Structure 1
Amino acid sequence: MIPIKNILYKAWALILIIGLSYSCNSDIYDTYDDYVDQEEPVSVGKPDTIISRSGKERILFQVFINSDPKIKEGVIRWSAEDSTNFKVDRTTYQRDSLNVEVRIPEGNYDFEVYLKDSKGNKSIAVEHSATAYGENYRSNLVSRIVSTFSFDGARAMMAFVSGTENERNTEVKYTNTANEETVEVISRETDTIHLPGCDVEKDIMYRTYYVPTPAVEGVETALDEFGSDWKVLELPEILPIIENITFTDILGGVTADWNNPDGLDLRLDFAYTANGEEKTHTVESGEITGKTAISGMEAGEQEVRVTISDTEGNSFGPQTYVVAPGKAVKLDKSSWTVYDFSSEEPAEGTETYPDNGKAMAVIDDNPDTFWHSAWENGTPEYPHYVVIDMGAEKTIGSFEVFRRQGNDNGQTRHQFLVSSDGENWTDAGTFDMDPGTDEGQNYTIMSNPTARYFKYVAIEGPDHYAFLAEIHVYGLE
């Protein structure tokens, strides 16, 4: 007799086997049915190449499409919520390209570009990074740097430093003398621009246009240009100086006075005509109150043309002034004598010029002779001097001196003094001397003193000695 528990055990085992068998067969047929019902996967060609150009809150994509005839649409996506679709319509199934513009806020973006067929099947996505530009980019742009500004009284000129590869045209806006607003344009390749009829008393403004990406082989890669803020040109305070120079007529020339309240380092050029020859008297000064004298001018009414420039190259002028120097003549030396001297050197004499080295050589009207301080029996140091008696009182307008011809080792600074009695002296001025030229060097005595005696004093030089070929005096007999 079989035990009941054995019968129950076998029954439960049979039920379990039948259940497992049914479960396995059901899964197999379900998987098979799914496989049979599923369509074959469709492959859609991806974009070949993507090129982008950036602009003002926009990006232009050039999407190159391969020859897959199934491609009907494309998608450019830059976030889970943001994308744009474009149709792919073509008459032939060869490789071509489409331009797609995306309007988008300023910023840097990572894009995915993929293609689709008519049933919505997608290609593999191609990644592409691009940037849209806007006000943040524009607000950081600066106008092209101005190197110099000049004004000749009728026309202004601005010079710029060379432009960068991202710069384009620069606009200059100003008001002309007819009170009309005018705009001139200068290209990046040009450094100077003229502003005809510019009223320099009013603001001159300029701004520069830029592209965010440079051109490649002459072809622009950017869609738009961006202009910097207008900038007001800050002019050096030269115009008030040149407009307020005052001239005083003296014998054989004029004096000029000016104010330079900012202490700018300036160069002042005074151009005039003498004996049909154009001449220029130049002064370099940073003094707040400036003064100079121009000698060797013809008598009577004439023009002086003033140009002022600073160390940065900015300049104003020429501005024309009318002056009327007094008549000055070269004083006759026939009655002049040597009244005194510090030392002389007769050993410099030669057979041709036996008076070489002597003090009298400075008034013999021969520039090939010269006075020389002593050296044979002693070598006195600076200063060295010669005193001349003109025989009667004269009004002195200027002195003209000539170095020892062909020799640049003489004094570099000298002084003139005047006297009525040869004992009491008045300082007439201390000046620099150029030892490197054989030409006459003129020194205006602004006070136009009246005197019988004058003293020439060599103050300093590269060696211990001094020499001089000739002295002339211009004034009134």
Structure 2
Amino acid sequence: MLHKKLLLAMLSGLLFLHLVSCSKKEDAGAPPPALSNVKGTPGYGEAIFTWDAIGRSPKDSALYLYTSISYTDTAGKVMEQKFSRYTDTAVIGSLTDKPYTFTIKTVGPQGAVSAMTTMSLTPKPPVYIAIAGTIKITASIGGARVAWENNSGKTVIVNAAYTDPATNKVVSKAFTSATQQGVGYLSGMPGGSPVTVVVTVTDISRRQSNPVSATITPQTEVKLSRTGWSIAGFSDQEAGGEGPVSGYATAAIDGNISTFWHTTWSTAETPYPHWIAVNMGQVATISRFGLVNRQNNHGGQTEIQLMASTDGQTWTDLGTYPFVQKNDEQFFSVPPQSWKYVKVVLTKGPNFFGFLAEINLYGAL
């Protein structure tokens, strides 16, 4: 009798386990619809996937919760990323240029999964590594020219640095760029002496390349003489309201930081932009602009545009730069090139007016 009871108890237990197991399987729900036309494309340190959108009918929504893409990373850890059911594109980033196998599936609200798609891809090198491999460092006037290629369309930071032999301090400059052919200039180097320039590339995730270095001997940069300079034109000037010298455009090239060109304020509130152009009287190679603000006045322009010309008619844009309202001379490196005319455009500021105490140019004759 005892054996019979034990047997019945065991049969009951097995039946219970079977029912629980069936219940768990039923809890997962019906399989969600599988993705179709799944395609994978290698990117720079990433894999890009697309697929045909799944319908958004109530039935589809009830079965399909998200898309899952899993792979094994370089450390051997299985990684999974989940994407909304409303998207038909996914990007898996932070990858290296090695083969990866990706498993792609859809997952239902209760955990059921669709038929899986398996795909192998080898991403291109991460963008910061790819760009670092194109870095070229060459000597320039009073500095270094750093050039690179960026075929990814992604934004990176190219940081160039050198140790100033006079102060033994590291001088650096960062160039943020997404352009295909990037160029940056590192200025302020002594001419005629070897200098080692070190360049690194950083992506938006702050991953940094190994340094690329080169030893160069910059050409000597000089401050160009103002002999023969004249004002070639201006948008407006304050005639008389600032005294017999200040206010007029000529005050920006008189060599005196106590005088200044000021845009009109006494007779009209002329809005931005304002501009002033200089005729150097001869062709010279310009590598830097040096601009001095009106002293002890901080209400002027906060952004400038630099331009240059060989004939005073056709102007080349040399770049737009932030301008700080401070007394010290501010330097703006430009691609060394021969010009006869330069123009400084004040593009915006907190008030309607702007001003400059001095326009200095650096380069070589």
Q: Please state how far the C-alpha of 1:346 moved relative to its aligned partner.
A: 4.0
Q: Which structure has the greater CA radius of gyration? A: 1
Q: Does 1:303 align with 2:191?
A: no
Q: Is the Cα–Cα contact under 8 Å of residues 97 and 123 in structure 2 kept in the other structure? A: no
- Structure scoring higher RCO (CA < 8 A, sep ≥ 6) equals 2
CA shift in 2, pair 1:234/1:312, >3 Å: farther
Q: 2:156 maps to what in 1? A: 266
Counterpart selection for 1:374 from 264, 277, 280? 264
CA shift in 2, pair 1:357/1:439, >3 Å: same
CA shift in 2, pair 1:408/1:256, >3 Å: farther
Q: 2:32 maps to what in 1? A: none
Q: Distance in 1 between matches of 2:326 and 2:209?
A: 30
Q: Distance in 2 between matches of 1:437 and 1:305?
A: 30
Structure 2 segments unaligned to the other structure (5+ residues): 1-8, 12-73, 77-95, 99-121
Q: 1:312 maps to what in 2? A: 205
CA shift in 2, pair 1:314/1:425, >3 Å: same
Q: Does 1:362 align with 2:252?
A: yes
Match of 1:445, SS state, is strand
Q: Please state how far the C-alpha of 1:293 moved relative to its aligned partner.
A: 2.5
CA shift in 2, pair 1:265/1:465, >3 Å: same
Q: Does 1:288 align with 2:177?
A: no
In the TM superposition, 1:37-48 aligns within 5 A as: none
Counterpart selection for 2:307 from 416, 419, 425? 416
Deviation by residue 1:239-266 (Cα, 9 ceiling, x = unmatched): 2211321234332233322122222221
Identity of counterpart residues, as a percentage? 27
Q: Is the Cα–Cα contact under 8 Å of residues 97 and 125 in structure 2 kept in the other structure? A: no
User: Normalized against structure 2, the TM-score is what?
Assistant: 0.59
Q: Is the Cα–Cα contact under 8 Å of residues 344 and 357 in structure 1 kept in the other structure? A: yes
Q: 2:352 maps to what in 1? A: 464
In the TM superposition, 1:206-355 aligns within 5 A as: 236-274=126-164, 275-276=166-167, 277-300=169-192, 301-347=194-240, 349=242, 355=245
Deviation by residue 1:187-238 (Cα, 9 ceiling, x = unmatched): xxxxxxxxxxxxxx997xxxxxxxxxxxxxxxxxxxxxxxxxxxx9997331
Deviation by residue 1:258-291 (Cα, 9 ceiling, x = unmatched): 1222222211211123443432111112223322
Q: Distance in 1 between matches of 2:140 and 2:161?
A: 17
Q: Distance in 2 between matches of 1:431 and 1:310?
A: 23
Q: Which sits farther off after the overlay, 334-343 or 299-308?
A: 334-343
Q: Is the Cα–Cα contact under 8 Å of residues 415 and 459 in structure 1 kept in the other structure? A: no
CA shift in 2, pair 1:289/1:234, >3 Å: closer
CA shift in 2, pair 1:391/1:288, >3 Å: closer
Q: Please state how far the C-alpha of 1:438 moved relative to its aligned partner.
A: 3.8
Match of 2:337, SS state, is coil
Q: 2:361 maps to what in 1? A: 473
CA shift in 2, pair 1:278/1:445, >3 Å: same
Q: Distance in 2 between matches of 1:234 and 1:408?
A: 49
Q: Please state how far the C-alpha of 1:329 moved relative to its aligned partner.
A: 0.5
Match of 1:380, SS state, is coil
Q: Distance in 1 between matches of 2:277 and 2:310?
A: 10
Match of 1:356, SS state, is coil
Q: Distance in 2 between matches of 1:408 and 1:304?
A: 37
Q: Is the Cα–Cα contact under 8 Å of residues 413 and 461 in structure 1 kept in the other structure? A: no
Q: Is the Cα–Cα contact under 8 Å of residues 236 and 314 in structure 1 kept in the other structure? A: no
Deviation by residue 1:290-329 (Cα, 9 ceiling, x = unmatched): 2222333322331111122122221124332223322220
In the TM superposition, 1:147-166 aligns within 5 A as: none
Deviation by residue 1:114-162 (Cα, 9 ceiling, x = unmatched): xxxxxxxxxxxxxxxxxxxxxxxxxxxxxxxxxxxxxxxxxxxxxxxxx
Deviation by residue 1:42-87 (Cα, 9 ceiling, x = unmatched): xxxxxxxxxxxxxxxxxxxxxxxxxxxxxxxxxxxxx969xxxxxx
Q: Please state how far the C-alpha of 1:446 moved relative to its aligned partner.
A: 1.4
Q: Is the Cα–Cα contact under 8 Å of residues 241 and 266 in structure 2 kept in the other structure? A: no
Which amino acid in structure 2 is aligned with residue 292 of structure 1?
G
Q: Distance in 2 between matches of 1:261 and 1:272?
A: 27
Which amino acid in structure 2 is aligned with residue 424 of structure 1?
Q
Q: Please state how far the C-alpha of 1:461 moved relative to its aligned partner.
A: 3.4
Q: Is the Cα–Cα contact under 8 Å of residues 336 and 363 in structure 2 kept in the other structure? A: no
Q: Is the Cα–Cα contact under 8 Å of residues 413 and 459 in structure 1 kept in the other structure? A: yes
Q: Distance in 1 between matches of 2:203 and 2:228?
A: 47
Q: Please state how far the C-alpha of 1:334 moved relative to its aligned partner.
A: 4.4
Deviation by residue 1:336-377 (Cα, 9 ceiling, x = unmatched): 333332221144536xxx522221222233334321111111
Deviation by residue 1:12-63 (Cα, 9 ceiling, x = unmatched): xxxxxxxxxxxxxxxxxxxxxxxxxxxxxxxxxxxxxxxxxxxxxxxxxxxx
> What CA RMSD, in Å, does the superposition of the two structures yield over aligned residues?
3.6
Match of 1:263, SS state, is coil
Q: Distance in 2 between matches of 1:466 and 1:392?
A: 28
Q: 2:333 maps to what in 1? A: 444
In the TM superposition, 1:54-69 aligns within 5 A as: none
Paired residues in the alignment total 256
Q: Distance in 2 between matches of 1:238 and 1:328?
A: 32
Q: Please state how far the C-alpha of 1:408 moved relative to its aligned partner.
A: 4.8
Which amino acid in structure 1 is aligned with residue 174 of structure 2?
T
Q: Does 1:430 align with 2:319?
A: yes
Match of 1:379, SS state, is coil
Structure 1 segments unaligned to the other structure (5+ residues): 1-78, 82-171, 175-200, 204-231
Q: Is the Cα–Cα contact under 8 Å of residues 339 and 389 in structure 1 kept in the other structure? A: yes
Q: Please state how far the C-alpha of 1:469 moved relative to its aligned partner.
A: 2.1
Q: Distance in 2 between matches of 1:416 and 1:305?
A: 30
Q: Is the Cα–Cα contact under 8 Å of residues 250 and 448 in structure 1 kept in the other structure? A: no
Q: Distance in 2 between matches of 1:428 and 1:324?
A: 28
